[in-house]
Amino acid sequence: MAQPIVHYGIHFFLPLVVALLCFKKHWKLAFLVMLSGILIDLDHLLANPIFDSNRCSINFHPLHSYYAIGVYLVLSVFKKTRWIGLGLVIHIIADQADCWMM
C-alpha cells in the first residue's frame, strides 16, 4: 500500500518542492515543466504486458535506460534544459524507489 503513495508522492510532490525552493520567481512554470517528465512513461506502451507491477522500469524501458538517464543528468546541468532534466531525473528517482520497494 505504501508503494503507490511513495511513487506518486515523488512524482508530484518532489517537483513542487524543487520548484518552490529553487525557482521561486517562475515556480509554476518550473513545476509544470518538471511534472511533464512523467511523459517518458509512454515507453511502457512498447512493453508486453504494458503494465507489470513486479517489473522494475529502470533499464527495462528505452526511456528508462542507463543511457537515457545519463542524458537526463546532462540536461539537468544546463540552464536552458534544467527544468526538463530535473523533471526526468525526478521521474527516474520515483521509478527507482519502486524498484527498491519490490
Neighbouring CB atoms inside 10 A of 102's CB total 9
Average per-residue pLDDT in the chain? 94
Q: What is the pLDDT of residue 1?
A: 59
Please check the confidence at residue 88 and state whether its pLDDT lies above 90.
yes
Which one has a higher pLDDT value, 101 or 69? 69
Find, among 28, 32, 24, the residue nearest to 84 by Cα: 32
Q: Are the C-beta atoms of 62 and 46 separated by less than 8 Å? A: yes
Give the range of the structural domain holding residue 11, as residue numbers without chain letter.
Answer: 2-101
Which one has a higher pLDDT value, 51 or 20? 20
- Half-sphere exposure at residue 19, Cβ-oriented, CA atoms within 13 angstroms: 20
Question: Could you give the number of structural domains in the chain?
Answer: 1
Q: Is the pTM of this model over 0.75?
A: yes
